[in-house]
Amino acid sequence: MFYLRTCILFLFLFLFPFCVFAEDGSQLWLRFPNVKNGISTDKIISKGKNPTLDIAKKELTTYWQGQAVELRTEKSLKNLKDGYTIISGLDKIIISSAKETGLLYGVYHILRLQQTQSDLTHLNITEKPSYDVRILNHWDNLDGSIERGYAGHSLWKWEDLPGTISPRYEAYARANASIGINAVVLNNVNASPNMLKNEYLIKVKALADIFRPYGIKVYLSVNFSSPKVIGGLENSDPLNKKVQEWWKQKTNEIYKIIPDFGGFLVKANSEGQPGPQDYGRTHADGANMMADVLKPHGGIVMWRAFVYSASPEDRAKQAYLEFLPLDGKFRDNVIIQIKNGPIDFQPREPFNPLFGALKKTSEMVEFQITQEYLGFSNHLVFLGPLFKETLDSDTYAYGKGSTVSKVTDGTLRPAKLTAISAVANIGDETNWTGNHFAQANWYAFGRLAWNHQLGSDQIAGEWIKMTFTDDKNFVNPVKEMMLSSRETAVDYMMPLGLHHIFAFDHHYGPEPWGNIPGGRPDWMPVYYHKADENGLGFNRTQTGSNAVAQYFPPLNETYGNIETCPENLILWFHHVPWKYTMKDGKSLWDELCYTYDKGVKNVREYQKTWDRMEPYVDAERFHHVQSRLKIQSKDAVWWKDACLLYFQTYSKMPIPYDIERPVHELEDLKKIKLDMKHHN
Amino acid sequence: MFYLRTCILFLFLFLFPFCVFAEDGSQLWLRFPNVKNGISTDKIISKGKNPTLDIAKKELTTYWQGQAVELRTEKSLKNLKDGYTIISGLDKIIISSAKETGLLYGVYHILRLQQTQSDLTHLNITEKPSYDVRILNHWDNLDGSIERGYAGHSLWKWEDLPGTISPRYEAYARANASIGINAVVLNNVNASPNMLKNEYLIKVKALADIFRPYGIKVYLSVNFSSPKVIGGLENSDPLNKKVQEWWKQKTNEIYKIIPDFGGFLVKANSEGQPGPQDYGRTHADGANMMADVLKPHGGIVMWRAFVYSASPEDRAKQAYLEFLPLDGKFRDNVIIQIKNGPIDFQPREPFNPLFGALKKTSEMVEFQITQEYLGFSNHLVFLGPLFKETLDSDTYAYGKGSTVSKVTDGTLRPAKLTAISAVANIGDETNWTGNHFAQANWYAFGRLAWNHQLGSDQIAGEWIKMTFTDDKNFVNPVKEMMLSSRETAVDYMMPLGLHHIFAFDHHYGPEPWGNIPGGRPDWMPVYYHKADENGLGFNRTQTGSNAVAQYFPPLNETYGNIETCPENLILWFHHVPWKYTMKDGKSLWDELCYTYDKGVKNVREYQKTWDRMEPYVDAERFHHVQSRLKIQSKDAVWWKDACLLYFQTYSKMPIPYDIERPVHELEDLKKIKLDMKHHN
C-alpha cells in the first residue's frame, strides 16, 4: 500500500510541472513563480528532521527565490500556539515557531509575500492564529455524493481507500496548510453510522496519515444512533451504560488507529437526525457522554446548535430557546457549533443571538462556504464580506465591543479551546470548487480563521494576485467586483432582510410563492416573507414572535423599532407596510423594486468587467468564468422578475416605470421545477 | 341554409352589444361609441334599395350620432371608381359615389372621423382609391391550417360550409370594407387542386355571397396541374388544347356559381409548384392561357414573380432574369404580382428591381402582413413604415420620381387594372391576428391600398384612436413605439442589410450559422451573410453577383459603390471588411454590435412605454400585449447574442465593452431546435 501511494505521489509530482500550463484552476492560489527550482538546499538552515519540516523545505527548494531561510523551532514561542515570527534582512529570513506546523505556515507566508510582490527584506512579523481549531466541514456521503456540493463528487474515494491514494489528497492538505486550516470533518453531518465501522476507520487513517504532516487533524461526524445501528444495542440512550461503553470502546478503537484524531461533530435531533431527546435526554446529556470518552485522548465534541422543529414557535428563536437553559451543563471539551445566523446560511441574516448568550459554554461559528443559498457554483459571490459581517457583529453580550469574534476567540472569556468552522465547497472537479471564484471563499475562510482582523479587501487582493496576476489593471476591477458581489447577490435574491424564499429542497432559484399544501410551514417561503395586502416581512418584534428579545440591549430595541432597525434587515424583523417610507424617501415597494434592479444591473456590470479582463487571463479560465457570469446574469433577472411579480400581487403597486420591465410571466415561473438533487 | 345563416347572423348581432365589454380584440378597430342607437332612420336620406346600402344604413342607425346623412349615387363620379365625396354642414352630411360600395366606404369614413374626434361639420372630401384591386392573400389550406399563420386556424371552415355560416365571415367582410379592401384570395398560393372541385366552389359561393354586399370579390389560388390532377388529363401543358378547354369549362363553371368571381392567383414553377416550364413553356404561356378563359367574364390572372431555383445565380436576381424577357408577352388581364423585395419579405430589403423594369406588363406589389420573418404574432412590429418604404422607393424607371407606387398605380403608365396585395395575418383566434398590435398591420395595408400617400404616422394615429383611446397620453407614446418598431426589429434581427439568417424552415429566431450539409445553398443563412475572416455581407456589385445592374441608373451606381450605398443596405450589396469605417466613424463590427444592442434597448423601452399605459387600457388587452412584449424582449436578446457571438467567430473583435454582454453561449444557441410548423 505504501509503495503504491508513493508511486502515485511520485507520478503526480513528476507530472506537476507539465500541468502548470493547463489553466484549469487545479493549482488554486498556489501558483508560485514558474521556475525550475527555488533556492538550493544549502540556503535552508534547519535543525532536526520531521515530515512537516521536509514539506517546508521542499516548498522552499521548489519555489522560493529569495534570500537564505532559517527555520527555527523555538519553544519560547509557545504562546503563539501554531503561530510564528518572521524576521528578514537582505541575506536571510528567519522563521520561528514553537511547532513545525508553524514553520510550514511561515514558509507559505513568505511564499505568498513573494507571489504578491511584497518587500521581503524588512520583515518583522508575528502571527498568532485567532482560533485553535480552523476546520472545514465536508458534507460528503459515503456513496461519493456531497450534500449541497456543486463541484462534482466527493474528493474522498472511499471505495479505493486505503489501497489507492489519489494525489489530490495531498494537494488538498497542502492547499489547506497554505492558509492555516488545521482540521477537517470528513463526512456529512447527516452522518451514516457506517462511518464508524472499522473498515472505514482504516480508510480514514490513510487520509489522516497524508494530512498529518500538513498540520491537519481529522474529525468525524457521528450518527447519534450508531450504538444501536452498528453496535447492535437496544438503544442509543446516552444514560444507558452500555451505550456509554460502546462509545468508549469505539473511541479507543479510533485513537488506536488515528492517535491524533480530533473528535466528533454531531447534528442531533434536527431535521430528522436521531439524538438524545429521542430518549428524553438533553443535548448536554448527549454531548457530555461523548466528551467523556474523548477527553482522555484530548478529543473534542462539536455539537451543533442548528436544531429546530415544526413547532408554532418562530424558527429563528428555537436554537436559543433550546440551548440557553443548558448553559454551563456542558463538559469543557464540548463546543457548541452555531450557524452564523438564526435561520440557515441565508444571503443575509442578523447574527445568531446565541453568540454571547451562552456565558459558560464554548461557542464556535459555523459558516457555509458552499453556496447552497447563493447560486451554487454558478454565481460569483465572494463571501469575505459575509464572514466579516458576522465576525464583526457586536453582540453587546459583555457591553459594547462584544463582537462575535471576541466572544468566540477567547478574548472575552478565556476558553479551553477556540474553533471556527465552515462547510466546504470542495469536490472532485478539476478546479476544486466548480467556479474559479469560489476558490476565493475557501481561501477567505482559511485566512479569517487564522486572523479574523484581516479585511475582505486584503484577502481578495491577495487571492487575486496569487490566483491570476498582480497587474493592477486586473486586480483593481476584479477586486471591486468581488467585494460588492455578496451585496449584489442579496440585492437580486432577497434584499432588505428577506430570507428563505428559495425554490423548495434544492434552493436554486426563486420561489417566493412556495407553499406546499400540508408541508411543514417553516420550510415554506410564505412562512418567511409573510407578504399580504398590508405589507411584507416577518414581525419579530414584541407584537410578533419577539425574537428581538433574544438580543442583548440595545440591539433588542434597535432591531425591534422599525425606525432604528437597519434597513438591510427590516423585513427580517418587521412586517412593513408597502407604502412605508424608507430612509431615502422611497416607499418600501419602490425600494424593493430598485434594489432588485440594482442587483441585476450590477451582475451585468460584472460581465462587462470580466470581459474587459480577457487580455490579462488565460483563455480557459476566462471563458469558464465568463460562462458562469452569463448564467448569473440570467438568474438575476429570473430572481428579480419572480419576486417583484409575485410580491406585486400583494402590493398592487406598479414597478416604477424607469426600471427595466420583467421579461417573465409569473405563471410560467411558478411552473419551473428544476430537477436538482442536494448533491452532484 | 339561408334560414340557418340568418339565424346565426341574428344571434351574432343580438349578442354583439353584450360582447363589447369583453375586451378580447374581436372588435378590431371598429369600436364605435358605445351607444344603444345611432341616428334614426328618418335622418338617412337614400334612394333605392340595395344590400350594400342596407349595410351602410345599418351602420349609421347603429353608430352614427351626428347630423343627417344623405347617401347619393352619382354616376358622374365614375372616375372616382369606388371612391366618394363627402360634404358636410351643420345639419347634413352628403356622401356621393358612383357605386354603392363607395357610399359604404364613405359611411365608414365618417364613422372613423367621429371615432377619432374630428370636426364633422366642414367636410369637403374627395377620395379616389390608389388601386383598383386591394386584395388580401390568405395562405389558408383546405385542411384548416394556415401556412405562415400565427393566429390560429383558418377562418374558413370548409367542412362546415356551405351549411353552417360562421358569424365571423361577415365580421371579416365588414372589417375589410371599413378600410377599403375589396378582394380576397381565399386559399394558399401553394394551392390544392381540390380547390377547384365543384364541392369547394359551392362553399366558396357561400363566402362570396356574404362578402358581396361589402364590395368584396373572391379570387382563388389555382394549382397549375389541376387539369391533370382533378381533370384526369394527360398533362397540364398550356398549349394542349384539351388543357385550355378544361380551364375554359372550369372557369365557366366558376362564373356560373359566382358571377362576380375575381380571378386566379398563380404560383408556378417555384419552390416545387408545377407550372408551364414543366412542359417547356414560359410563364407567359401559362398566364395567357388562363387569362384567355377569364377574359370573357372580366376575370384577371395574378401571376407571381416569386420564382427562383437552386441555380448558381444569386437568388436576388432570378425573378428579374426570368420575367424581363417576357415583357409585353402577357395578356392585358394578367398582372405580375411581385414581392416587395427581391428575396422574400425580409425585415428590410431594397425594392424588387422588377418594379418599373417590366414596361409593357402590369405589375402589382405583394406585401406580407403575416409576420413570417418578423417574430410571428409575438413581436410588436408596425409594418406601415415597411410598406411605405417600398411604395416610396424611387425606381428611376421613368426618371427621378418613378416610385414603386407610381409604376404600379397607373400614374406612370396607364394600366387597364391596378392592384396591390398582401398576405393576410388573419386566423380564427378571437383577436383575429394573434397580437392585438398586428391588427394595425391589416389596417395599415388596407389604408395604404386605398391611399398610398397616407403617412405611417397618420395611419398609426387613426388606428390607435379607434382601437384603444384618443387620450393623447396613450396615443403619443404608443404611436412613437409603433412607428419605430419596424426599425427596432431590423436592429435586433438583421441590421445593415443582413437578410435571411433565420432558423431553418419555420423562420422563428436566429440561425446565422445555418448551413445544413447537402441542403440547398440558397436556403442557408451562410449563403446570405457570407461571413468570413475578412468581413460580412453579400457582394452584389460588379465584382460579385452584379445584382446592382438590375437597378436603373443612378441606383446601380449608388448601390454598387460601398461609399454611396445606404448603410441600412450595405451588407445586402457589399462584402464589407470588419474594420471598414462607417459614416459615424465606427468600424463595421462595432456598428453591428451597437445596432443589435440598440434593438434590444428599444424593445425594453417599449415594455416601459406599454407598462405606463396600464391606466388607459382594459386589463385584458393590457396584459396580452405586455406578455408578448416580454417574449419580444427576450427574443431580441436571443437575436443579439446569437448573431454577435456567431459573427464574432469571424471578426475576432471584442464586443465594445460598454455594451451589455451576451447572456447565452453560442454553442447552446446552436442546439435550439424549435418544434414549429409553418402554420398552427
What are A193-251's pLDDT values in tens digits?
Answer: 999 999 999 999 999 999 999 999 999 999 999 999 999 999 999 999 999 999 999 99
Q: How far is B567 from chain A (nearest CA, A)?
A: 28
Structural domain contains residue B498: yes
What are the distances in angstroms from CA A516 to CA A310, A312, A549, A666, B388?
14, 17, 31, 17, 55
Q: From CA A414, how far away is CA A407, in angstroms rounded?
A: 9
At which residue does the C-alpha cell 418587521 appear?
Answer: A574
Residue A639 has pLDDT above 80, yes or no: yes
How far, in Å, are A534, B30, B299, B402 from residue B416 at the CA level? 72, 33, 12, 19
CATH of the domain at B638: 3.90.1330.10
Share of chain A above pLDDT 90, in %: 91
A649 touching chain B per CB within 8 A: no
Q: From residue B639, give the alpha-carbon distance in Å to each of B109, B282, B369, B481.
A: 41, 41, 22, 20
What ipTM was predicted for this assembly?
0.91
Are A608 and B657 within 8 A, CB to CB? yes
Q: How far does A653 lie from chain B, in Å, by closest CA? A: 12
Contact B517, B523 (CB under 8 A): no
Residue with cell string 498582480: A470
Residue A329, SS3 per DSSP: coil
Residue of chain A with shortest Cα separation from B615: A654
DSSP category for residue B656 = P
- Residues of A designated as active site: 271, 344, 372
- Percentage above 90 pLDDT, chain B: 91
Instruction: Give the closest of A608, A612, A660 to B604, CB-based.
Output: A660
B370: helix, coil or strand?
A: coil
Using a CB-CB cut-off of 8 Å, the residues of chain B touching A604 are 660-661
Q: Final residue of a domain: which of A127, A142, A165?
A: A127
User: What residue in A sits closest to B600 (Cα-Cα)?
Assistant: A660
Kindly state the average pLDDT of the residues A311-318.
94
pLDDT at B12 > cutoff 50? no
Judge if B111 and B156 occupy the same domain: no
Give which of A599, A581, A602, A598 is closest to A658, Cα–Cα.
A598
A629 reaches B (C-beta below 8 A) = yes
Q: How far is CA A335 from CA A128, A264, A412, in A?
A: 21, 10, 16
pLDDT at B414: 85
A400 assigned to some structural domain: yes
Residue B21 is predicted with a pLDDT of: 53
CA dist A585 and A344 (Å) reads: 32
B442 within domain boundaries: yes
Distances (CA, A) of A351 to A311, A394, A571, B171, B206: 22, 9, 15, 67, 78
Per-residue pLDDT averaged across A644-669, rounded?
98
- How are beta strands A124-127 and A84-88 bridged, if at all? antiparallel
Whether the CB of B623 is below 8 Å from some CB of chain A: the reply is no
A611 and B663 within 8 Å at the Cβ level: the answer is no
* Helix, strand, coil content of chain A in percent (nearest 5): 45, 10, 45
Q: How many residues are recorded in chain B?
A: 680
- Please report, to the nearest 10 degrees, the dihedral formed by the alpha carbons of residues B279, B284, B288, B289 taken in order: 0
Q: What are phi and psi of A425, to 5 degrees?
A: -115, 30
DSSP letter for B80, please.
Answer: G
Q: Which amino acid is at B288?
A: N
A80 contacts A128 by C-beta, under 8 angstroms: yes
B1: pLDDT strictly greater than 50: no
**Do the beta carbons of residue A369 and residue A422 sit within 8 Å?**
yes
Q: Are A87 and A123 in contact (CB under 8 A)?
A: yes
d(CA A305, CA B274): 81
Pairing mode of beta strands A92-97, A576-577: unpaired
Q: What is the mean pLDDT of chain B?
A: 95
Same domain, yes or no: B438 and B582: no
Reply yes or no on whether B234 is catalytic: no
Q: A202 and A155 in contact (C-beta within 8 Å)?
A: no
Q: Mind giving me the DSSP string for A511-545?
A: -TT---TTS-GGGSHHHHH---SSEES---STTTT
Confidence of residue A32 (pLDDT cuts 50, 70, 90): confident
Residue B645 backbone phi and psi in degrees, to 5:
-65, -35
Give the three cell numbers for residue B145: 391550417
Instruction: Tell me, yes or no, whether B56 and B82 share the same domain.
Output: yes
Q: Which of B127, B154, B186 is the C-terminal boundary of a domain?
A: B127
pLDDT at A172 over 50: yes
Residue B547 included in any domain: no
Whole-number Cα distances in Å, B564 to A332, A591, B574: 88, 51, 11
**For a pLDDT cut of 70, what percent of chain B falls above it?**
96
B97: domain CATH number?
Answer: 3.30.379.10
Interface of B with A in 553-612 (CB under 8 A): 604, 607-608, 611-612
* Interchain contact B633–A (C-beta under 8 A): yes
| Residue A631 · residue A378 · CB < 8 Å | yes
pLDDT at B16: 44
| Residues of chain B neighbouring A619 (CB-CB closer than 8 A) | none
Residue B75 has pLDDT above 50, yes or no: yes
Radius of gyration of chain B (CA): 25
Q: Average pLDDT, stretch B92-107? A: 98
Nearest CB neighbour to A604, from listed B612, B633, B660: B660
Mean pLDDT of B76-91: 97
Instruction: Tell me the backbone φ, ψ of residue A321, rounded to 5 degrees.
Output: -60, -35
Q: Same domain for B312 and B368?
A: yes
Last residue of a domain, one of B127, B154, B185: B127
Which B positions 237-256 lie with beta carbon below 8 A of chain A?
Answer: none
pLDDT at B234 over 80: yes
Cα A473 to chain centroid, rounded: 30
DSSP code for A231: T
Query: Dmax of chain B from CA atoms?
Result: 77
Output the average pLDDT for chain A.
95
User: Closest chain B residue to A662 measured between Cα atoms?
Assistant: B630
- The reported pTM is 0.94
Q: How confident is the model at residue B34 (pLDDT cuts 50, 70, 90)?
A: low
Could A661 and B634 be called an inter-chain contact, meaning their C-beta atoms sit closer than 8 Å? no
Regarding whether A369 and A220 lie in a shared domain, the answer is yes
Q: Residue B164 and residue B168: Cα distance in Å, rounded?
A: 12
Alpha-carbon radius of gyration of chain A: 25
**DSSP letter (8 states) at residue A192:** -
Q: How far apart are CA B418 and CA B81, in angstroms?
A: 12
Query: What pLDDT band is residue A413 in, cutting at 50, 70 and 90?
Result: confident
CB contact under 8 A, B663 and A608: no
Q: Does residue B395 share a domain with residue B521?
A: no
Q: Give residue B253's domain range.
A: 133-467
Give the per-residue pLDDT at A635: 98
B460-506: per-residue pLDDT in tens? 999 999 999 999 999 999 999 999 999 999 999 999 999 999 999 99
Task: Return the residue of B nearest to A615 by Cα.
Answer: B654
The verdict on a CB contact (< 8 Å) between A661 and B607 is yes
Per-residue pLDDT of B328-368, as tens digits, reads: 999 999 999 999 999 999 999 999 999 999 999 999 999 99
pLDDT higher than 90, residue A675: no
Res B455 pLDDT > 90:
yes
The helix (H) or strand (E) run that includes residue A283 is: helix A283-294
Shared domain for B52 and B146, answered yes or no, is no
Residue B17 lies inside a defined structural domain of this protein: no
Q: Does B652 touch chain A (CB under 8 A)?
A: no
Q: What's the pLDDT at B309?
A: 86
Distance from CA of B645 to the nearest CA of A (A): 13
Q: Which three cell numbers stand for residue A408?
A: 468566540
| Residue A419: all three cell numbers together | 474553533
B516 neighbors B670 (Cβ within 8 angstroms)? no
Give me the pLDDT at residue B676, please: 83
A49-63 confidence digits (pLDDT tens): 999 999 999 999 999
The Cα–Cα gap between A294 and A526 comes to: 43
Assigned domain for A569 exists = no
Q: Are residues A84 and A151 in the same domain?
A: no
B/e letters for A469-505, b = 16+ CB within 10 Å, e = fewer, are beeeebbebbbebbbbbbbbbbbbbbbbbbbbbbbee
pLDDT for B14 beyond 50 = no
Q: Find the residue in A nearest to B663 (Cα).
A: A630
Q: By three-state DSSP, how is residue A442 classified?
A: helix
For residues B156 and B122, state if they share a domain: no
Of A379-383, A568-572, A595-599, B63-67, the one with minimum mean pLDDT is B63-67
Contact B434, B422 (CB under 8 A): no
- The pLDDT of residue B677 is 67
- Residue pLDDT, tens place only, B129-178: 999 999 999 999 999 999 999 999 999 999 999 999 999 999 999 999 99
Interface test with A, best of B626, B663, B665 (most A CBs within 10 A): B663
> Do residue A139 and residue A258 come from a single domain?
yes
In a domain, A12, yes or no: no
Cβ contact A611–B655 (<8 Å): yes
More confident position, B295 or B47 = B295
Question: Does residue B555 sit within a domain?
Answer: no
The residue count of chain A comes to 680
Percent of chain A with pLDDT over 70: 96
Q: Which residues of B touch A662 (CB under 8 A)?
A: 630
What is the domain count for chain B? 3
Sole residue written with cell 432591531: A559
Chain-chain contact of A654 with B611 (C-beta, under 8 angstroms) = yes
Query: What one-character DSSP code corresponds to residue B351?
Result: P
Going by C-beta distance under 8 Å and a sequence separation of 6 or more, which residues neighbour residue A616?
Answer: A468, A469, A471, A473, A474
| pLDDT for position A34 | 60
Task: Using CA coordinates, name the residue in chain A closest to B612.
Answer: A657
* B-interface mutation test, from A633, A663, A664, most B Cβ less than 10 A away: A663
The CATH number of the domain holding residue B142 is 3.20.20.80
The band of A38, judged by pLDDT with boundaries at 50, 70 and 90, is confident
What CA–CA distance (Å, rounded) separates A265 from A288?
13
Can you give the pLDDT at residue A33? 65
Do B428 and B507 fall into the same domain? no
Do A192 and A259 belong to one domain? yes
Q: How confident is the model at residue A123 (pLDDT cuts 50, 70, 90)?
A: very high
The beta strands (E) that lie in A180-249 are given as: 183-185, 217-221
Rounded to whole angstroms, the Cα distance separating A220 from A461 reads 34
